[in-house]
Amino acid sequence: MAATHTGITEQVLSYQAPDPPVQEFEPPTDRAFFADPDKKSLLSAARELRKLTPYIGTELVGIQLSQLTDKQKDELALLVAERGVVFFRDQDLTLDQQYELNAHYGIQDRDPNQQDPKHVTILGRNSDIRKYGDYGGEYHCDHSFEANPPAYTMLRMIRTPQAGGDTLFTSQTALYDKLSPVFQKMFDGLHAIHSSEASFINSINNGYQPFRGPVRREHPLVRVHPVTKVKSLYYNPTFIVHLRELKGQESTHMLNFLREHLHAADDLTVRWKWTPGAVAFWDNRVVAHRAIPGGYDPSTREGKRTAVFGEKPVPVIEGDGSETLSQRIWRLGGEEASFEETKLYFNSPLV
């Protein structure tokens, strides 16, 4: 967490957002609950399933999202929940078809800065992520300051530069899994305050008119995925301002640790290079992402993002049947389990 000036200007102080905050509600049942655990219908339709990294990211080759049956859509939700993000290239999906697909997964969410009620237009950015006060280039999960932060989120890229504008996705289930048991237990009991204040101020100072005012909401720092029951960090360096149970400096240093833990996670991250017509479909509950700005003409990048409301983040509760990612891998067995033994020996033996 970097301390910055607040950016409070006359415009910020006098701005009246037209809409009230979104109230907490119970979203429809997650479609992944309805999926065949083997995903036979979806996987048999794909020409190839490419795991892009061991812990996150799968590319499905030979599938058109516009042609999926409802059964395949449900299986895709489960695959996304398990792999964090699923990618497709050369899609013929139109914007209306994207809305329709999104509606299968729940109720359309709306970002406070979203002009069109049905989607966010994602554009290129040419800023330097290292400059003082740069906003928007950091890892995040989309608008986690809401009572029901988004679950399934889709970005379809229409135009993209030949080089630049890649997106990084990092698995927060794996980030949690790679912590020592001592840190896992401590984090299980913590809550984070997510705030949209900096985003709100930044929007107004850049000439936008957010339609909801700034809010702060508290979510567990570790959440349980309702379908997979896997424990996941719910860390977000863009919106978290404080860890509720900790004192000031304790919170600052713990958040700095978490930021380093996320930024050093090359082994838990997939970097997606966009091409026109490519789609990323991710589970915002268990993945942090970041678009890489800089070095290209921002007008050459444009995509459409849709998202659905998720449940109020579920905390870890003793006896809830939740497990860590490696526990899940061991339970399911097979070749992957044989590679997943380092957790037992996470400290090198003394020599």
Q: Point out which residues bind Fe ion (CB under 5 A).
A: 142
Cβ 142 to Fe ion shortest distance, Å:
5
Tokens of 105: 């997964």
Report the alpha-carbon distance of residue 117 to residue 104 in Å, rounded: 17
Residue least distant from Fe ion (Cβ)? 142
Q: Between 75 and 142, name the residue whose CB sits nearer to Fe ion.
A: 142
Cβ 221 to Fe ion shortest distance, Å:
20
Q: Between 142 and 146, name the residue whose CB sits nearer to Fe ion.
A: 142
Report the alpha-carbon distance of residue 335 to residue 333 in Å, rounded: 7
**Residue among 7, 4, 20, 6 nearest 211 (CA):** 20
Identify residue 252 by its one-letter amino acid code.
Answer: T
Cβ 188 to Fe ion shortest distance, Å:
26
Cβ 14 to Fe ion shortest distance, Å:
29
Cβ 236 to Fe ion shortest distance, Å:
10
Q: Between 278 and 329, name the residue whose CB sits nearer to Fe ion.
A: 278
Q: Between 149 and 315, name the residue whose CB sits nearer to Fe ion.
A: 149
Q: Between 293 and 315, name the residue whose CB sits nearer to Fe ion.
A: 293
Q: Between 141 and 268, name the residue whose CB sits nearer to Fe ion.
A: 141
Cβ 289 to Fe ion shortest distance, Å:
6
Q: Between 223 and 290, name the residue whose CB sits nearer to Fe ion.
A: 290
Cβ 280 to Fe ion shortest distance, Å:
11
